Amino acid sequence: MPLILVLAMYASFEVASSSGAYGVEIEAGAFKKTLTASKDAVAMCDERFVSSIQKAGLKTIAIPAEEAAKSLDAIPTYIINLRKLGANRRTPLLAVGGGIVQDVAAFCAAIYMRGLSWTYIPTTLLGMADSCIGGKSSINVGEYKNIVGTFLPPQKILIDPDLAATLSPEQIIAGLCEAAKICFCRGPKEFQAYMKIAPTLTMDERAITEIITTSLLAKKWFIETDEYDRKERLLLNFGHTFGHALEGATHFRVSHGIAVGLGMLCALAFGRRLGRSYEGALLQSVRDMESHIDKLLQQHPTLPKQLAGVEVSEVLDRFAADKKHTSDHFSIVMVNASGAAVLENLSKTDATRAPLGDAIADVLKCYA
């Protein structure tokens, strides 16, 4: 079993994968330290970090932190820029940014000259606490979100909690929604450990480090058990099927992590519309999770504006187009009577579609 070292302000562990184990280090100041030691790298980075990375002497490719940047249409430009900067198969690639930069960099690393080794420095809480491990890239094609991609883990992941101080309340909420989801899907013990840290928008660096470590160690189990998304890891899609539909219906005014938080609440509302009850002592974690996500979303400064004008019918149309469904069934991660996240296949009938629409409406009226 890989060594897991967790100190008050530092954590280090490895994630096993079929292409070899890769390391994760969580340490304040890791960003500046890495730039100093990466002179030969080409950095694919969020536009906000171009100046500081260039000052450190690295070649850069700027990537806008917007959904259009991770489209298949945009990829050739990044590939051409890598070539113009002289990148070859031995050139280390450094990715600096949130989930969009990670998706683009991971995809390019997998296909450029049949593969580059890459290192990732996530700059959003969502990236730090969730997407940085697992090795997946997800690229949009036309109106279809995340429909192509690859599996190529980075050689190393370096997480600098200091970067969280630069984030907006919306970005903190987005990251906490995903961290809560991971820990809840792993089980009551992990979710209680997450809640014990008392995650809030005003957490100090120590709490942020604990949130990141707790979330990633919970996700590590899913990745090592089911690296290629065939069974257990699919549970991490909790909130995503609804969430992706909400993202698209708002034309991406609502960011991914926020949409996942809303999607988790939609899944619970849908369960209730199907006659399920989440009361009782054994389901306390479900109610705690629901309350936690609700409190986070209530603090989102512009969520009502972002959801204004969203039509339930459009959300439903986008929900139905999700790539995870089969021809006859909706494939949705739900919460069962024991309070566990489970993958369910529900027939595509009016008896399913009607409560789906009602559940989406229930959630929208709370925040729009």
Mean pLDDT confidence for 23-34: 94
Q: Enter the DSSP assignment of 130.
A: I
Q: Among 32-36, 52-56, 310-314, where is mean pLDDT lowest? A: 32-36
204 and 247 share a domain? Answer: no
The Cα 130–Cα 299 span in angstroms is 21
202 and 296 share a domain? Answer: no
pLDDT at 3: 52
The answer to whether residue 259 scores a pLDDT higher than 90 is yes
- Name residue 305's amino acid: K
Q: Among 9-18, 43-52, 254-263, where is mean pLDDT lowest? A: 9-18
Q: Enter the DSSP assignment of 41.
A: P
**What is the pTM assigned to this prediction?**
0.93
In a domain, 282, yes or no: yes
* CATH number of the structural domain spanning residue 346: 1.20.1090.10
pLDDT at 281: 84
In a domain, 179, yes or no: no
> Which pLDDT tens digit goes with each residue over 119-133?
999 999 999 999 999
pLDDT at 5: 61
203 and 337 share a domain? Answer: no
pLDDT at 2: 44
The answer to whether residue 232 scores a pLDDT higher than 60 is yes
Q: Return all residues near 133 (Cβ < 8 A) that are at least 6 apart.
A: 15, 24, 153, 157, 216, 219, 220, 223
In a domain, 190, yes or no: no
In a domain, 357, yes or no: yes
Mean pLDDT confidence for 139-156: 93
> Which pLDDT tens digit goes with each residue over 182-192?
999 999 999 99
212 and 249 share a domain? Answer: no
**In whole angstroms, what separates CA 165 from the centre of its chain?**
19
130 and 265 share a domain? Answer: no
99 and 211 share a domain? Answer: yes
Average pLDDT of the chain to the nearest whole number: 95
141 and 253 share a domain? Answer: no
Mean pLDDT confidence for 162-174: 95
In a domain, 176, yes or no: no
- Please, what is the end-to-end C-alpha distance for the chain in angstroms? 47
pLDDT at 8: 57
Helical H runs in the chain? Answer: 30-36, 50-55, 75-84, 99-111, 125-126, 169-186, 188-196, 205-225, 240-249, 256-273, 284-298, 303-307, 312-320, 350-367
In a domain, 188, yes or no: no
158 and 280 share a domain? Answer: no
221 and 243 share a domain? Answer: no
Overall domain count for the chain: 2
CB count within 10 Å of CB 271 equals 21
In a domain, 192, yes or no: no
Please work out, in degrees rounded to the nearest 5, the angle formed at the alpha carbon of residue 122 by the alpha carbons of 119 and 123.
140
Looking up tokens 């009502």 gives 304
pLDDT at 368: 87
Mean pLDDT confidence for 215-240: 97
User: Residue 352 sits in which domain range?
Assistant: 238-367
286 and 216 share a domain? Answer: no
324 and 347 share a domain? Answer: yes
In a domain, 185, yes or no: no
Tokens of 341: 């996240």
Mean pLDDT confidence for 91-101: 96
Residues 179, 127: contact at Cβ < 8 Å?
no
The Cα 244–Cα 344 span in angstroms is 18
pLDDT at 156: 96
For the chain, percent of residues with pLDDT exceeding 70: 98
Mean pLDDT confidence for 71-82: 97
247 and 125 share a domain? Answer: no
Nearest to 176 by CA among 162, 189, 164, 166: 164
pLDDT at 10: 84
pLDDT at 1: 37
